[in-house]
Structure 1
Amino acid sequence: MDEQTKDSLLTEAMNEYGDYLVQLCYTYVRNWQTAEDLAQETFIRYYNNLPKFRGEASVKTYLFRIAVNVCKDYLSSWKYKKVHISEIFQKLLKSEDTPEKQAIKHDEQAQLVKGIEGLQTKYKDVLLLFHFGEMTLEEVSFALNIPVNTVKTRLRRARRTLGIALEEGGEDHARSNS
């Protein structure tokens, strides 16, 4: 593969998936600068391994798999703290609702973020890739290098655990306001 082709493929991938990769990396490291650095490292690895890419998966899935591995490598070399993903949800809050509705949405989003942060990493991974990365079950399976049935199980458990956490958070909130 010649350099011009590799450059073209890299530019296309960066334009198409750059923002998604930064957001994905941010969910692991909770720091935008570090997330941008890890996304850049992802693209460097992608570029260097382009001749080895066999096309068995989509470029998106391949990039997400590299990004997950880059993040896990980074986290294994540094102390891992709880993940803050509130900025991912800020886009959901932008609307023309009344201040009261915005306050309610903000409270609900904060509870959702707290619930997701409380999930075990293996559940958080599948939940974020499937729902926020908009990946199929097969793509999540490839990205995390686990069987599709494991993805389904972890996704179901993540949703159930998150639902319980949100119910408990709502009860706590209701108790604190009475």
Structure 2
Amino acid sequence: MKRNIGWPKELFGDFEDFTEIDAYHEDDYASILNMDNFYVIAAALRKGYFNRQIARLITQPSDRHYFLYSPASVNAWYQQERNSITIPCGVWTYPLYRQNYPMSAKFASIGSFARELVRGLDERGIQFGSAGELVGCSWKECGWLDKASKKNFREMAQCVVTQYR
């Protein structure tokens, strides 16, 4: 499973030098740097984001390191088609995380990471291989588990469903 933690280093670097980031975004955002009109700024940001996404889709191959959403997001996510888990830096911000929170609250906030990790091993996750490709496909289903393991997996999953109903 590919891990993406914090922010895409290829795009944002280590935040020591912003020259590259500024140059990368200059065409789309330079015109709004000294504006006060919220709607003009929001429209320019939306247009710039759209332009970057379209350019990336057209010019670059699929990349398992790519963050599907903003690094400022406050939720982790798992992508089966990439077999990757992403834990953005936004999850380590208030109100989800504070250094002075009790340990119980810190562990509770990590629960969203565990939930996403388990998605790689659920009914849908087992259909995808190590690079996110569908594997072991037959007429009715895909997956890397053998028949006995699938049967045991479904029985175990049903036990959990029954317990928490």
Higher helix share: 1
The TM tier, using the shorter chain, reads: 0.3 to 0.5
The structure richer in strand per residue is 2
TM-score, normalising length: structure 2: 0.36
